[in-house]
Structure 1
Amino acid sequence: MDEQSPTRSAAVTERVEPAIAGRTFDAVLFDMDGTLVDSTPAVERSWATWGAEYGLTRSALAAGHGQPASQLVRLLLAADQIDGGLARIAELELEDLHDITVLPGAAELLAAMPADRVAIVTSATRQLAEARIAAAGLTAPAVVVTFDDVTHGKPNPEPFLTGAARLGIDPSRCLVVEDAPAGIKAGRAAGCATLAVTTTSTRSELDADLVVDSLAQVSIVPGPEGFSLLVG
Structure 2
Amino acid sequence: MRLEFDAVLFDLDGTLIDSTEAVRRAWRRWAEEEGVDPARLAGTKGKPAKEIVASLLPPERHEEALAHYSHIATHDLEGVVVLPGAREATEAVGDRKAIVTSCTRDVTTARTAAARLPTTDVLVTADDVDRGKPEPAPYLLGARMLGVDPRRCLVVEDTAAGLTSGRAAGCTTLGLGNDLAADVVVPDLSHVRFEVVGDRVALTVPGEG
User: 1:129 matched to which residue of 2?
Assistant: 108
- 1:90-110 deviations in whole A, cap 9, x for unaligned? 111111111110000000000
User: 2:53 matched to which residue of 1?
Assistant: 73
User: 1:151 matched to which residue of 2?
Assistant: 130
User: Counterparts of 1:107 and 1:62 in 2: how far apart (Å)?
Assistant: 30
- 1:12-37 deviations in whole A, cap 9, x for unaligned? x4xxxxxxxx5320100000111101
User: 1:17 matched to which residue of 2?
Assistant: none
**1:220 Cα deviation from its structure 2 partner:** 1.1
User: Counterparts of 2:97 and 2:31 in 1: how far apart (Å)?
Assistant: 35
Unaligned runs of 5+ in 2: none
User: 1:48 matched to which residue of 2?
Assistant: 28
User: 1:9 matched to which residue of 2?
Assistant: none
Over aligned residue pairs, what C-alpha RMSD do you find?
A: 1.6
Matches within 5 A, 1:178-193: 178-193=157-172
**1:173 Cα deviation from its structure 2 partner:** 0.6
Unaligned runs of 5+ in 1: 1-12, 14-21
Matched pairs, number: 206
**1:190 Cα deviation from its structure 2 partner:** 0.4
Q: Name the amino acid aligned to 1:62.
A: A
SS at match of 1:70: helix
Q: Name the amino acid aligned to 2:15.
A: T
- 1:19-60 deviations in whole A, cap 9, x for unaligned? xxx532010000011110111111011101112223434442
- Tell me if the contact between 2:155 and 2:172 (Cα under 8 Å) persists in the aligned partners: yes
* 1:195 and 2:177 are equivalent in the alignment: no
User: 2:44 matched to which residue of 1?
Assistant: 64
- 1:126-175 deviations in whole A, cap 9, x for unaligned? 11111111111011121111111112111111111111011101001100
- Tell me if the contact between 1:24 and 1:225 (Cα under 8 Å) persists in the aligned partners: no
Q: Name the amino acid aligned to 1:90.
A: S
Identity between Structure 1 and Structure 2 (%): 48
Matches within 5 A, 1:1-232: 13=1, 22-115=2-95, 117-198=96-177, 203-204=178-179, 206-223=180-197, 226-232=200-206
Question: After TM superposition, which residue ranges in structure 1, 4 or more long, deviate above 3 angstroms?
Answer: 54-59, 221-225
